[in-house]
Structure 1
């Protein structure tokens, strides 16, 4: 068996994507650009126990599927276009276990695209240190996808991730946004003629394509069907985006209330409260603030003079030595 399984690694920025990517692929990776744009593309390979090879593509970090930059548009294009060269057979979603409220919003969008997904909860040690306890079984049941906790930097949990990738992700039966609830028009009209039975044209994928066609409308990218639909039904992309995110944050809050317990009196919170009490004190806070400003001023205008004089002396001596030598 020498098949290649295409896997996309996606998540919010600063969730440890690079650490997980390196832990899985090691030195078997290459860097290039996504076709047609100058956004870096990291691709790596690793072997699965059943003999297949996994091709892992590290997608640019983003907070949602509503792109605000060229980098953030890359994941949306790849996930929506089933004919894209990098379109994944499996999505590996990485989340910061200590900040799930923000991280799970993008995950719910990907789940609604009906793609096979695995959730990797990274930095689980930091979450535990903050008194955050995540019930993995509850998360799996609620989200309807495989979930694994890891510490990618220390390579803890990586064998379990590889095993889950081999078994394949799962297309969740859960839907976090009822498109019919926030929209009052038939999205099925956007399905191209002759593709009415194609299961890839999900309600949410059609909605994102409509959103994308609305905000990137140019002569070069115009889509007659989408443009006519938008005008006929007076589609407001800003209003839709707001409603979409509001519904998702509500859904995420319910998930966290059910599956995540946070200790009220954890060691981390006690230290945080003590520090807050000192730094925000009505008198002591101002004293600390002005002390920091004084230290910064001294570092720039007084203390910096000593290393500058030393560097100048070294270069002067070096110039003299060079002149004598030559």
Structure 2
């Protein structure tokens, strides 16, 4: 067949089949991440040089198990393949199949193959198949499926050159469908083919099945399809079930003919391990023990590098202060921006340890077992199978989950998305917990090996978890529903993580955190510096010293200017009566206000506030914060009762302005995000008050 000089190539496959690894291998650094139009599902694209004449655009479609979509990710993939008019409709499909579980992979493959798009089958994880005692006859598989098959290892890049050669010179054979659906609705399919001018029968059949959900078809075309279905009495659910059963029978026979299976010591060993890890009692104990060890290591390994980094930032700040002349720039850098950045980046060692261990758990296959295990428990509290993922994954984010609630058919599920999803641990919250605990909780060891900081982080993790499941349980009691959802996932084989993949995950996580911190911490620190160095009487005070020339220096060095008269102090005095019942002074109150921009801004704001002493200190950020005294309690501003109150407040409060803005713009109703803001802020305040009273 003729091939475009710059074809669009889409990668598709089941979750955990190696699709993302192959995408990284093909595109390298030429990647872009965004969202598919109109949805919050992530879209990744990039470019790959197939040969000296051809460069292809690679599109990473969301993982799916079947063409009959059950969740938003699958709906996106189905919509793209549903009609050639879609802007992302591919010229070639690369289907990534898990060789260790062909029965699972081939259901979706037979469906997309029958759509008539040129397909290349990339057979991945052959090493795992061999460990499990599975041998695949690739020649027989190629003949049975009537497609080109190339064995690959998506992690190491093995077979990548052969795959590029096939993609540069694809051969589309005119062959019969693997499963013929035309007899299921022959007359209706013929009418659809004529109406939409398409040749492929299965594509026409899918328009009958799922055309109403297409983003490509017009309203008139959707109405025509509905009228045709009514006229022909097209029973979507019954025909879908019949087709799926027929495909499973076909796949079962095919897999038996192209594979041989034998028991191995590896398979028997990990079968026993799986039974322990997913056991209804021991599985939970192992998970808690693993979290305990992980959180202990985060602080044990990260503590001393943190102190060294803190000393480096203190030296850098002092050097800049001595190098630059006194004045505006000197003060802005040494009392505003540098302390704020130091307040965030000195904790990079803790985050490095955290992200590395979480990546190891995810890449090894263990986190899939945790999700399956916890789903059984959370279903009792009314959380669906999909809710298990954000509750346990550090990669989850509240905004997409809340926006996705618009697509839910269940009213209770919509409420769950609005009021429960923001309570769970996410990629923005856990790192902030780590920073707050590393800074404010004493680094103390019990019995020589148990660190107090690690215990507090473990407690906060489960505090958020319990808050989410209890909230869902209350919602389940208040809003009755007969609807039920299921978590469909296949347990991947345990694998030895590749450090190249681990490093990429850790690097991306640290980069994302650092970029977010820089974007928010610097502007917030500049604003706070200005609030701390300006006052309503500023001009008059300066004029006392400089009769004819307005200079900013008196506000920055020894002068008549009093910090107590600054805008920041006046604003702090205004909010102090509100936050003092929580154990917070005016400085903490101001920093909490700044964290409405982003949680990371809290630490940067505190560092800026404590860097305003008139005699410029050489102390590090940690020393400045630890030496601060609460004037009301005459104790350290961060006694344990105050720290616990602060952590609980951050467990519930909705600080992120971007979240509120996106919900206001994209939500189905204007009142939902406002109600959510009131609910979460009120819950945070009451909970923090109770905690402070209990521990003080």
TM category, shorter: 0.7 to 0.9
Determine the C-alpha separation between the residues in 2 that align with 1:94 and 1:256.
Answer: 16
Q: Per-residue deviation at 1:49?
A: 1.7
- In the alignment, which residue of structure 2 is the partner of 1:182? 184
Distance in structure 1 (CA, Å) of the matches to 2:83 and 2:269: 48
Q: Over aligned residues, Cα RMSD in angstroms?
A: 3.6
C-alpha separation in 1, matches of 2:166 and 2:118: 12
- Partner residue in 2 for 1:202: 200
Deviations 1:26-53, CA, capped at 9 Å, x for gaps? 0112122223333221111011224111
TM superposition score normalised by structure 2:
0.40
The range that moved more, 47-56 or 163-172, is 163-172
Say which of 97, 100, 103 aligns to 1:101: 103
Match of 2:244 in 1: 245
Contact in 1 for aligned 2:182/2:205 (Cα 8 Å)? no
1:182-239 C-alpha deviation (Å, 9 max, x unpaired): 336441112344x6xx4x332111111111135789x958623211111112212111
Relative to structure 1, is the Cα distance of residues 134 and 234 closer, same or farther in structure 2, using a 3 angstrom cutoff? Answer: same
Q: Tell me, yes or no, if the aligned pair for 1:91 and 1:169 is still in contact at 8 Å.
A: no
More strand by share: 1
The CA distance in 2 between the partners of 1:99 and 1:291, in whole Å, is: 27
2:146 & 2:138 partners in 1: Cα distance?
Answer: 12
2:451 aligns with one of 303, 307, 313:
307
8 Å CA contact 1:215, 1:237 repeated in 2: no
Aligned partners of 2:83, 2:35: CA distance in 1, in Å?
18
Instruction: Point out the structure with the larger helix share.
Output: 2
State how many pairs are aligned: 308
1:93 aligned counterpart, secondary structure: strand
Q: Secondary structure at the match of 2:175?
A: coil
Q: Deviations over 1:51-108 (max 9, x none)?
A: 1111110011111111122321122222122122211111000011111101110000
Give the CA deviation at 1:119. 0.3
Contact 1:144 1:170 in 2 (8 A): no
Residue of 261, 264, 267 corresponding to 2:265? 267
Whole-angstrom distance in 1 between the partners of 2:50 and 2:208: 38
* Deviation (angstroms), 1:3: 2.3
In the TM superposition, 1:1-326 aligns within 5 A as: 3-171=5-173, 173-183=175-185, 185-193=187-195, 198=197, 200-213=198-211, 223-263=222-262, 265-272=263-270, 289=282, 292=285, 306-308=450-452, 319-321=625-627
| Offset from partner CA, 1:110-162 (integer Å, 9 cap, x none) | 11111110001111111111111111111110000000111111111111111
| Alpha carbons of structure 1 residues 266 and 232: separation in structure 2 relative to 1, 3 Å | same
Query: Deviation string for 1:280-322 (max 9, x for gaps)?
Result: 9xxxx99x849948985xx69xx9974226889xx99774456
| Residue 258 of structure 1, CA deviation | 0.8
Distance 1:143 1:172 in 2: 13
Q: 5+ residue gaps in structure 2?
A: 297-444, 457-620, 630-635, 637-696
The Cα offsets for residues 228-285 of structure 1, whole Å up to 9 and x where unpaired, read as: 111112212111111111111111111101111111x322233246658x969xxxx9
Distance 1:238 1:311, change over 3 A: closer
Q: Is the 8 A contact 2:81 2:89 kept in 1?
A: yes
Structure 2: how far apart are the matches of 1:275 and 1:84?
A: 45
Match of 2:681 in 1: none
CA distance in 1, matches of 2:143, 2:74: 30
